[in-house]
A and B are shown apart, each in its own frame.
Chain A
Amino acid sequence: MTAIVCFIALVIATLAITGWAARRSQGRSGVYAADGALGPAQNGFAIAGDFLSASTFLGTTALFFTAGVDMILYLAPFLFGLCLMLIWIVGPLRKLGRYTLGDVLAARMPSRGLRIYIGLSTITISIAYLIAQLVGAGMLIAILFGLTFEWAVLIVGVLMTVYVAFGGMLAASWVQIIKAGLLIGTVAIICVLSIVSAGGLGALYERAANVFPQGMQLFQFGGLDLSLLSTASLVVGVAAGTMGLPHILIRAFTVRDALAAQRSIAVGATLIAIVVGLVFAIVAPATVAFVMGEPAYQTASGAIQGGTNMVVVHLASALGGEVLLGIVAAVTFATILAVVAGLTIAVASASAHDLYASLQRGAVDERRELQVFRFATVASSAAAVALAILFRDQNIAVLIAMALGLAASANFPVLFLAIYWKGLTARGALIGGSVGLVSALALIVLGPEVWVRALGNPQAISPLEYPALISAPLAFVTAWLVSVLDPQKPTAEERIAADRAARLANDSV
């Protein structure tokens, strides 16, 4: 009952925000970038809201429940990637771009082909990530609210369409800000209740180790039993992928200038580290201490009710009864909504501002472009909902690995070289990015997740689940080689743009 009340309150609040944002979001600047009017703290909260998905909150805790402290390998690399994004990408990105990644490349190399490439790459990465989120959301909401998978996905799809189509970036940002606040508050409450119920932090760890089948190995690295190569590929893949994720990168355009963009990433990283640190150090051990072995949360066969992804929900029930359970369910729903809204913005803005505008001859009518944005929002949401229902039985890890692999191999090398290397030509960027994209896809298909688990082959051809360790360097080398060998040397206009990009990238350092 509490969950339903919290859910309805959340939907009403977010729709009210959308109505308010719709009146304020006028023109390209308002719809794509909230007029660049967010403050660094607001944008930092929105970045945390965009970043902390349901898998961060529920999935990694489930990983701790089964494999112990190795869960840090699925959390710290995101923070590592965000840190490198701040060091290398964000400042120059904000200076060169207005609304999309296509703007950044266009400022450096005025090439229609390259702009279409980055638009398509943004859409592919974001849709893959969106489908993964929707499949996870559908399963989770179905369990939490007792709905069918199809209805759960459809409700999320309709809400994200309304937020983005009517409220644009401003509505999506405030949904993310509210979600981040709710998530931090909820995690803090669970932490306090866990420590109080266990009788202290030390007692909590002791209790967790006592019920874990391998005892203190819960707190020993190596529980996932990954090889050094697999661990390195995971860390590099997630970090490099984070640096190329369009829905995170475009948040740099929602603040006034490059300094504000950098500050907002630092605020976001701090908030993410707080949530992730609390989940790692307190919430996850508490799930083991209070849920593992408890008959109330087990099925007849001894498995966790609803799967291990539900251990945080069971923990909430154990600590705070129906009230806390309802709050956690509603916060999880808010978490899902915030992430999918950010992804939908990335898809719709790339469709309208990069693809549609590139295919037009002459000046593009702003009103018409924004109509295309709204159409793209509805179309991409409908496609994502349909694909999520179609792929409901697929492993979400494959879709996440695909999105991060493509972002690391198709987006990040092109953006990095465009900012820092004056010798990069449009052809080099296009071919380098395409090689990164194709090699990342090929390595995922030949890797353990698809080749062995999905296709049933006895052994994987590529040992890597995250392909960036190979595909990203391949993209870098190809872009460099093609640019060096390119007979079509940069025009005077392109050389001036490259000089300006390089100057901006290292300004005042």
Chain B
Amino acid sequence: MIISRKKVVLAAAACLVMAPVTIISGMGNASPAGLTAAFAGLPLSVWVGLTVMAALVICAWLSIDDESGETRP
């Protein structure tokens, strides 16, 4: 199996970004009540959701390789 280090690191980063929201939601009603508090006008849960999506987009842009390999015409 040949997978470059960059691909492994970026995939791991994407998984780390996705993991907290999965775990917090999976805790059901035991999820931290503090997430309903507001920060800069937005509830913390909204911040969490927006941050997850922004981080995934950044991860996507970082994973672009300037690949010089051949492409089938």
Residues of A within 8 A of B (CB): 69-70, 72-73, 75-77, 79-80, 82-84, 86-88, 91, 94-98, 103, 107, 200-202, 205, 216-217, 219-222, 224-232, 235, 239, 256-259, 262-263, 265-266, 269-270, 273, 276-277, 280-281, 420-422, 502-509
Contact A262 B68 (CB under 8 A): no
The chain A residue with its CB closest to the CB of B4 is A509
Closest 7 CB pairs of A and B: A228-B26, A231-B26, A507-B69, A219-B43, A509-B4, A221-B31, A222-B31
21 contacts between A and B (CB under 8 A): A69-B46, A72-B48, A76-B49, A80-B56, A84-B11, A87-B14, A205-B38, A205-B41, A221-B21, A222-B28, A224-B25, A225-B29, A227-B26, A258-B69, A259-B64, A259-B65, A263-B64, A273-B57, A504-B70, A508-B65, A508-B69
| Contact residue among A76, A221, A265, A269 (Cβ-Cβ distance under 8 Å from B24) | A221
User: B1 contacts which chain A residues (CB < 8 A)?
Assistant: 420-421
User: B36 contacts which chain A residues (CB < 8 A)?
Assistant: 216-217, 219-220
Given known contacts A76-B21, A262-B65, what 8 new A-B pairs fall within 8 Å (CB)? Answer: A77-B18, A86-B64, A219-B43, A225-B28, A231-B22, A256-B71, A265-B60, A507-B68
Among B25, B61, B64: residue with most chain A CB under 10 A: B25
Contact A73 B46 (CB under 8 A): no
List which B24-73 residues lie within 8 A (CB) of chain A. 24-31, 33, 35-36, 38, 41-46, 48-50, 52-54, 56-57, 59-61, 63-73
Q: A509 and B60 in contact (CB under 8 A), knowing A228-B26, A232-B22?
A: no
| Contact residue among B3, B17, B25, B48 (Cβ-Cβ distance under 8 Å from A420) | B3
Contact B25 A222 (CB under 8 A): yes
| Contact residue among B35, B45, B49, B60 (Cβ-Cβ distance under 8 Å from A269) | B60
A295 to chain B, nearest CB (A): 28
The complex places the Cα of A505 from the Cα of B8 at a distance, in Å, of 13
| Contact residue among B25, B53, B54, B59 (Cβ-Cβ distance under 8 Å from A221) | B25
Contact A277 B14 (CB under 8 A): no
Contact B43 A205 (CB under 8 A): yes
User: A231 contacts which chain B residues (CB < 8 A)?
Assistant: 22-23, 25-26
B3 to chain A, nearest CB (A): 6
The complex places the Cα of A270 from the Cα of B3 at a distance, in Å, of 25
Residues of B within 8 A of A (CB): 1-7, 10-11, 14, 17-18, 21-31, 33, 35-36, 38, 41-46, 48-50, 52-54, 56-57, 59-61, 63-73
Contact B69 A72 (CB under 8 A): no
Contact B27 A222 (CB under 8 A): yes
Contact B3 A506 (CB under 8 A): yes
B70 to chain A, nearest CB (A): 7
A79 to chain B, nearest CB (A): 5
The complex places the Cα of A221 from the Cα of B38 at a distance, in Å, of 14
User: B73 contacts which chain A residues (CB < 8 A)?
Assistant: 98
Contact B33 A504 (CB under 8 A): no
Contact A232 B26 (CB under 8 A): yes
The chain A residue with its CB closest to the CB of B7 is A87
User: A269 contacts which chain B residues (CB < 8 A)?
Assistant: 56-57, 60
A216 to chain B, nearest CB (A): 4
Contact A69 B42 (CB under 8 A): no
The chain A residue with its CB closest to the CB of B47 is A281
B63 to chain A, nearest CB (A): 4
User: B24 contacts which chain A residues (CB < 8 A)?
Assistant: 221-222
The complex places the Cα of A103 from the Cα of B73 at a distance, in Å, of 12
The complex places the Cα of A323 from the Cα of B14 at a distance, in Å, of 41
Among A87, A229, A277: residue with most chain B CB under 10 A: A87
Q: A72 and B28 in contact (CB under 8 A), knowing A216-B36, A266-B64?
A: no
Contact A91 B2 (CB under 8 A): no
Contact A76 B27 (CB under 8 A): no
User: A421 contacts which chain B residues (CB < 8 A)?
Assistant: 1
Q: A227 and B28 in contact (CB under 8 A), knowing A262-B64, A277-B53?
A: yes
The chain A residue with its CB closest to the CB of B3 is A420
Q: A76 and B65 in contact (CB under 8 A), knowing A220-B33, A273-B57?
A: no
User: A96 contacts which chain B residues (CB < 8 A)?
Assistant: 72
The chain B residue with its CB closest to the CB of A501 is B2
Contact A505 B2 (CB under 8 A): yes
The complex places the Cα of A231 from the Cα of B22 at a distance, in Å, of 6
Contact B46 A281 (CB under 8 A): yes
Contact A80 B14 (CB under 8 A): yes
The complex places the Cα of A503 from the Cα of B5 at a distance, in Å, of 14
Contact B27 A219 (CB under 8 A): no
